[in-house]
Structure 1
Amino acid sequence: MATRRTLADDLVGEILLRIPPEDSACLARASLVCKTWRRILLSDPAFRSRYRELHGPPPLLGYIHVLKGDEPYFSRFVSTSALRPAGRDFPGWLVLDCRHGRALFATSSPDAEGAMDLVVWNPITNEERRLPKPPRTLLPAGARHDCNAAVLCAAEGCDHIDCHGGPFRVVFVVTSTSYMETVTSARVYLSESGAWSETTSVHHHLEPEERYICVDMMPSVLVGDALFFSCGRKHILEYQLSAQQLSVIATLARFHGSCIVIMKAEDALLKLVDIDRSSIYLWSREVDAHGIPRWVQSRTIELQTLLPDDVLPVKSRRIYVSGFVEGTDVIFVHSSGYVYMVQLKSRQVTKMAIKWGRLYPFTGFGIPGIKAASICEGPRDGASSA
């Protein structure tokens, strides 16, 4: 009997592996069939690893985007999964990042006018955690400063299939420019200790034609053990997580458009997306025979063959990259008041149900969790787990 039961479990696992990750409602129903099916879906690490290997990168389950409104900041979560309700509005909250089952926001502090807090929110359980303020030493007085932040899973050995309930960290970076010099600093918040790390800083002198170097408010990119932030057209900020080392990379390339977007290439390297009018230029980072890295234009995609005529650029109209799905070839472009999802390989274009703003995708395999709760419930005071 024991042999037959083991064989049945193996066959059930093979069947469940074939359920498309986009069909999260089907996964939810399968978990209710019996205890064995539920155990395989929720607790079997071998099944979860095989599921990811078979289906590749997690599908898009929703997205968070910035809205125009009366508030200084306004973000909205929209679900694209049948397992989850429509979404949730965040008046007064500015989305900064979304990764590994969590979203990161900046919001006005309730006890200090003009100050900003960082909040981590879990779209699956609706739990949120307000972080202690980053130390003021990162924001020196009398300097121009720009900041950004990223959230990521901190569980050792996690495969990031369902890591929304474990420990996490937030990397906060700021560039401060004064008197022809820029200081870039970073601190890391660890959820397990509830505290910020010591400051890591790097100084770099500005060239005569540069007024300042500032970190952009665009999504960061996680490649291996490093986080990358874009800083205009000429620089990229790199933070090594294990070594807690900060550095500024000069791009040294003549890009076509006014800004660039960093993405992760399939070979775990960096690539850049550069848009000028109706053309997308893809750049790859290569190392020459002398060991010197350089950016090489690898591909050009003409948007005029993909987008409707009424959204193509004219003198008063431009196309911008408003987001991307990390680890894939999917980008989001904005033009004429609409956002389009563009798959760079297949050149498939999908019109999104939003008209403006940066877009932060929420991805996952949608394997239902025991503690899943409605994302449409309002925030709960005192919630501390994310």
Structure 2
Amino acid sequence: MSTYKQYNQPFARVYSSETGIWGDHILTEAPCEISRKPAVQVGGCLYWLSIGDNILEFDLGEHSLTVTRGPPVADGILFRNCQIIQAENGAVGYAVLSYPRFEVWQRSISAHGVATWVMWKTVDMHTILRLPHPHDDEMSVQLLGYDEDDAVFLCYDGSVYMVQIKSMQSKKLNEIHSTGNRCFPFKSFFTPGAAIAGRFGAAMLQIE
């Protein structure tokens, strides 16, 4: 996935590891400036955040690329505090950290293929992180990353918290201090030819 910088026109190419061949360019006419956050897979599609209120969607089965509207997020929300997630029943979700609230939207598709966004849940940040009142500066809490197994990572006062989206229960990750603004969660890794003997706990790669 990339964009023609002059026009902010996204395009994609699919690589086959079986044949070693790159496919044709797949274009969308609508301009869209992709964020630096990684794509999120929900069902058979990959989704990227776009600067503004759009979402870039790539269908892995159809090899089609489209730009769709995101939820009606209030103006002034810091873009880094938005995140595409997987909501209930495999639907596309959109999390917004609008301090002091944490909002989660869910996309609904009608029988006629019309997409609408509905509010799934909204929670007070002090309830999630068990923080004392008041911290009214929206910079005091930042959304760092997303684990597709139902967790987001938030930073408060240099410490990182893992928050389960469905339950809104939080856990402070001890001895982890954030100095950057993006994290890429992962659970395990292995070298080629080596078997994984078990599942490891959550970890993060932090980009400063």
Residue identity matched to 1:240 = D
CA distance in 1, matches of 2:71, 2:145: 23
- 1:243-283: CA deviations, max 9, x gaps? 22111112252346333210112311101101111210010
Change (3 A) 1:201 1:322: same
2:4 alignment partner in structure 1 = 176
Q: Would you say the 8 A contact 2:99–2:138 is kept in 1? A: no
Match of 1:340 among 155, 161, 166: 161
Q: Would you say the 8 A contact 1:219–1:323 is kept in 2? A: no
CA distance in 1, matches of 2:140, 2:92: 25
- 1:91-126: CA deviations, max 9, x gaps? xxxxxxxxxxxxxxxxxxxxxxxxxxxxxxxxxxxx
Which of the pair is proportionally richer in helix?
1
Deviation at 1:349, TM superposition (A): 1.5
1:294 alignment partner in structure 2 = 116
Report the secondary structure of 2:88's partner residue: coil
2:201 alignment partner in structure 1 = none
Report the secondary structure of 2:129's partner residue: coil
CA distance in 2, matches of 1:193, 1:310: 57
1:267 alignment partner in structure 2 = 89
Report the secondary structure of 1:341's partner residue: strand
Please list, as runs of the form range in 1=range in 2, the aligned pairs for 1:51-90 lying within 5 A after superposition. none
Match of 1:194 among 7, 20, 34: 20
1:330 alignment partner in structure 2 = 151
Deviation at 1:346, TM superposition (A): 2.9
**TM-score, structure 1 normalization:** 0.44
**TM-score, structure 2 normalization:** 0.77
Deviation at 1:289, TM superposition (A): 7.4
Which of the pair is proportionally richer in strand?
2
> How well do the aligned residues superpose, as a CA RMSD in angstroms?
2.8
Match of 2:48 among 229, 234, 237: 229
1:239 alignment partner in structure 2 = 58
- 1:219 paired with 2:38, answer yes
Report the secondary structure of 2:72's partner residue: coil
Q: Look at both structures and tell me which one has the larger radius of gyration over its CA atoms.
A: 1
Match of 2:106 among 284, 294, 307: 284
2:194 alignment partner in structure 1 = 371
Residue identity matched to 1:190 = S
CA distance in 1, matches of 2:172, 2:134: 14
User: Where do 5+ consecutive residues of structure 1 fail to align?
Assistant: 1-172, 206-212, 374-386
User: Where do 5+ consecutive residues of structure 2 fail to align?
Assistant: 197-208
CA distance in 2, matches of 1:303, 1:316: 11
Deviation at 1:313, TM superposition (A): 4.1
Q: Would you say the 8 A contact 1:174–1:186 is kept in 2? A: yes
Change (3 A) 1:310 1:193: farther
Residue correspondences, number: 188
CA distance in 2, matches of 1:359, 1:312: 26
